[in-house]
Amino acid sequence: MSRQQTIAQSASLSGAGVHSGKPATLTIRPAPEGAGVRFVRADVTDRNAVIPALVTMVTTTELGTNMSNDAGVSVATVEHFLAACSGLGVDNIIAELDGPELPILDGSSRPFVELLTQAGVKEQSAPRRVLKILKLVEVRHGDKFARLSPGEGFEMRVVIDFQTKAIGRQEIRFAMTPGAFARDVAWARTFGFAHQAEQLHAMGKGLGASMDNTIVVEGDAVLNPGGLQSGDEFVRHKLLDVIGDLFLAGGQIEGLYEGEQPGHALNNRLLRAVFDDAASFAWT
């Protein structure tokens, strides 16, 4: 039986948010058994500043997964950090933030993996809660879909398809086994399209984006001087997002995830659909 895990000590990193452009320091602290992942806005003192990392707290999914609590306190772009927690098996942790958005850093989960490793992953006494999928649940939006079905362990199949030759159609299959996330997924960076930059800025988004933290595609070319870390870095990052979004179930998942052109909105709808059908899951 696997047991819950937290971190051994506190650790911090700082950077700017990819959308807000605002600086923030993230400090991670150990949390007791059963606490789950909890974001705390250290810069908010007049209201409840705790935001549990649960699917029911997600308020918007445009260009990232963003959450807020009943007091209106929010935290944005949580998926890369949550993916690192999921990938390293960290069940309980306090993530204290002194700004509205998690730092984008290099656009991947690798800095968060390094932060968690620096803090030290520590086993606790209580058994880990796992969300076991008992029957197929699927959500669709046009040709796009995301589904969870019964399976051994936690396996994923993700497909993306873009008209640009820089990306095209890419598919990845992945099983969450010890060490696999850090080795195969964590380093994959987020990506965007140069022609959308002006529109995003007008919306107050992408204000902290640059080629230091985003793969930029224009036409059929990647503009970043260093190019890609792998030819399928795009679909690996989409997989990274899936892992982060699904960790909002409140624990690890036992089952098979399949996504065709998935995004934050579809992933959120999928988890809500699972919890809306009591026959589709069991906590073990």
Which of 19, 80, 237, 264 is catalytic? The answer is 264
H, E, C per residue of 15-67: EECCCCCCEEEEEEEECCCCCCEEEEECCCCCCCCEEECCHHHEEECCCCCEE
The pLDDT confidence band at residue 1, using thresholds 50, 70 and 90, is low
Q: 74, 19 in Cβ contact below 8 A?
A: no
**Helix 79-88, helix 233-246: angle, nearest 10:** 80
- Quick: pLDDT tens for 49-95: 999 999 999 999 999 999 999 999 999 999 999 999 999 999 999 99
Q: 268, 158 in Cβ contact below 8 A?
A: no
**Which domains, and CATH codes, for the chain?**
3-127 (3.30.230.20), 130-283 (3.30.1700.10)
Residue 52, number of CB atoms within 10 A of its CB: 15
Annotated catalytic residue 237: no
pTM across the whole model: 0.97
- Quick: pLDDT tens for 89-142: 999 999 999 999 999 999 999 999 999 999 999 999 999 999 999 999 999 999
The pLDDT confidence band at residue 17, using thresholds 50, 70 and 90, is very high
| Average pLDDT value for residue range 27-52 | 97
Q: 254, 284 in Cβ contact below 8 A?
A: yes
Residue 199, number of CB atoms within 10 A of its CB: 11
- Quick: pLDDT tens for 222-234: 999 999 999 999 9
Q: How far apart are CA 93 and CA 32, in angstroms?
A: 8
- How many residues would you count in the chain? 284
Q: Rounded to the nearest 5°, which phi and psi values hold at 181?
A: -65, -50
Does the pLDDT value for residue 214 go beyond 90?
yes
